[in-house]
Chain A
Amino acid sequence: MPETRIRSDLHGVIWKIEVAVGDRVAQGDTLILIESMKMEIPVSAPCAGVVSGIFVKEEQQVAEGEILAMITV
């Protein structure tokens, strides 16, 4: 089963995690909100599938390029 890793586009702090492992998501669904420069930047699902991994916690700092979650198609 192909897995898609979702990376952070920017430096920031994990503000909210909107999904849990096992959730089915559609393309474009918001998975995580990153707070950066006082804005809530949504990280959306690049494809439909099942959330098979979340590798960050709320309030955690993340760097650009860091893997946040994984979706299994």
Chain B
Amino acid sequence: MITKVRNHLSQNEALLFERSSPGKKAFQLPALDVPPVDAAEALGAGNVRAAIEGFPEVSEVEAIRHFTRLSTWNYAIDHGMYPLGSCTMKYNPRINELVARIDGLAWAHPYQPESLAQGSMEVMARVEAALAEITGMDAVTLQPAAGAHGELTGILLIRALLEKRGNPRKKILIPDSAHGTNPATAAIAGYMVQNIKSSDTGVLDVSALAQLVDQDVAALMVTNPNTLGVFEHNIIQAAEILHKKGAMLYMDGANMNALVGIARPGDFGVDVMHLNLHKTFSTPHGGGGPGAGPVAVKKPLEPFLPAPRLKHSARKWTWDYKRKHSIGRVKAFYGNFGVLVRALAYILAHGGEGLRNATVDAVLNAVYIRKQLEPYFDLPYSSPNMHEVVFSDHRQAALGVHTGDIAKRLIDYGFHPYTVSFPLIVHGALMIEPTETEGKLELDQFIEAMISIAKEVETDPHTVKNAPYGTRTSRVDEVTAARKPVLRWKPA
């Protein structure tokens, strides 16, 4: 029974280009207070373009209706639970949006004199310090723009240190449960990727690791807790194995939401890690960005961090560009400052104790879901889980219904689907991460929906296989989209 939602009307809306009509305007510029110049003369006749063919021409009210109508076609955290495993879709406090738009912060130019940027620099220094405390690491760079960008920065740091020690080495070890960004990053940093098979209990196989680590291995990239939501309990041992052979331990911090205030990577042997501020620290995902991917390191890696670095001297913040061992810049300017402001607002709102309480609730929510769905869905790994839980569609697949179908049916019940078919080590995975910002009622409705679908699979699999029904757009033909790509509008 679907109890959480019922249908309502949604407006149709054409593309901007189809709505346009010559001469319509949504703008007015101030009168020019200097003499106009002849474009052909100022720029050279050959450099001046004709009108931009096809560019929109709509009025202000049409513009706002256009985007408002489009917005109603989206599901969002503001509507309800968004249990995408590994994505940490938590509530985005609106105060964070407000403070990021304060004029003195939002209009700060990256090249304005340091004496007129002390507030921005202080914010960044405070973010660095908070993240160092949370991770137990020694130094933090805020320059990387996103998680994968942080990964690249982290691996380049490892490479730089090993190079300085005489040999950058050749390989990065990556468990088969890892995110796709890990191997893609290693390749961009010039390393070969060697996959490690997870153990029967879904964690790092330490004896396999011990056999693989040799003088060619630069680092192990590991997500902890891993993508099954299981804490890598052998992590200290793994770090010892790596360190003994001169290799490093890189931690993908995608799942840090399970650890804040409970355990610190810096205390369990991690040398380098990145954080996703748009996950753990609640900066909005915005339909796929912007994010921020700070990288935290232990002391030996600090000299190699991207330049410039914040420096405090004579009671003032300055930017230190003279960093001779630095890997260089990974991005223009200093980082996604606006995202850092939001993350700091989140940290200030919680405080140390609040952050830990959030972690506890995140884990409680995931365990609560696991307990109640275990009778209905196959749980391939029975190790205790933390902030997320991964089931498989094993039972449902026997009846011809797969994880993707269950996900689509969940939409009809008023929820965003969980993460489908990841991690790769679980065939037909259902990866569920509720986060701490779901209340008991929303969780109970989710559980009820999942159980109802499990029953539908047994009684009426056809219904599940063709879902969703309640959305304005039904199942989308992704095959044709890829086979005959139409990537831009053209006039008919």
A binds B: no
Q: List the interface of chain A (C-beta within 8 A of B).
A: none
